[in-house]
Amino acid sequence: MSKKYKGFLWIFIFLVIIGVSIFYLLRQYDNQQANNTKLIQNNETKANKGVSDKPKIIEKKEREFTGVNIKYNDKSVPVLMYHSIAYEEGNELRIPKENFREQMKYLKDNNYTTLTLDELYSFFISNKPIPEKSVVITFDDGYKDNYENAYPTLKEFGFNATIFVITGAIDNEKDYLTLNQLKEMEQNGVDIESHTVAHEQLDKISYEKQLDTLTRSKKYLEEVLGKEIRYIAYPFGKYNTDTVKASKYAGYNMSFTTQGGWSNKTQDIFTLNRVYISANYGLSEFKRRLTNPNYNTN
Return the ∠ at Cα 104 (arms to 102 and 109), rounded to 5°: 90
In this prediction, residue 38 has a pLDDT band, given cuts at 50, 70 and 90, of: very low
Instruction: Report how far residue 164's alpha carbon sits from residue 115's, in angstroms, rounded to the nearest whole number.
Output: 15
Is residue 58 over pLDDT 60? no
Q: What pLDDT is attached to residue 16? A: 53
Distance, CA of 169 to CA of 46 (rounded, Å):
31
Distances (CA, A) of 180 to 46, 149, 183: 21, 16, 5
DSSP 3-state of 69: coil
Task: Band the pLDDT of 19: cuts 50, 70, 90.
Answer: low
pLDDT band at 2 (very low <50, low <70, confident <90, very high): low
Compute the distance between CA of residue 284 and CA of residue 214 in angstroms, rounded to an integer.
37
What average pLDDT does the segment 12-26 reach? 55
DSSP readout, 222-284?
A: HHHHTS---EEE-GGG---HHHHHHHHHHT-SEEEEEEES-B-TTS-TTSEEEEE--TT--HH
Task: Provide the percentage of residues in the chain whose pLDDT is more than 90.
Answer: 77
Residues of 191-214 as b/e, b for ≥16 C-beta within 10 angstroms?
bbbbbbbebbebbebeeeebbbbb
State how far the Cα of 157 lies from the Cα of 105, in Å rounded to an integer.
8
CB 46 within 8 A of CB 40: no
- pLDDT tens digits along 103-159: 999 999 999 999 999 999 999 999 999 999 999 999 999 999 999 999 999 999 999
96-107 tens-digit pLDDT: 999 999 999 999
Condensed to tens digits (0 to 9), the pLDDT of residues 171-227 reads 999 999 999 999 999 999 999 999 999 999 999 999 999 999 999 999 999 999 999
Write down the mean pLDDT value for the chain: 87
> Cα separation of 239 and 273, whole Å?
13
- The DSSP symbol for 91 reads -
Q: What is the pLDDT of residue 68?
A: 81
pLDDT band at 15 (very low <50, low <70, confident <90, very high): low
User: Which residue has better confidence, 13 or 253?
Assistant: 253
Cβ partners under 8 Å of residue 183, min gap 6? 55, 224, 225
pLDDT score of 59: 62
Are 274 and 138 in contact by the 8 Å Cβ rule? The answer is yes
pLDDT at 17 over 80: no
Q: Could you give the CA distance from residue 239 to residue 162 in angstroms, rounded to a whole number?
A: 21
Residue 226 three-state SS: coil
Q: 149: exposed, middle or buried (C-beta count within 10 Å: 0-12, 13-18, 19+)?
A: buried
pLDDT number for residue 296: 87
Query: Pairing relation of β-strands 231-233 and 254-260?
Result: parallel
Residues 6+ apart with CB under 8 A from 200: 209, 210, 213, 235
Q: CA torsion sign, 173 to 177 to 272 to 93?
A: negative
| Element (DSSP H or E) covering residue 19 | helix 3-48
Would the pTM count as exceeding 0.85? no
CA angle in degrees (0–180, nearest 5) for 260-265-271: 50
Q: Are 255 and 272 in contact (CB under 8 A)?
A: yes
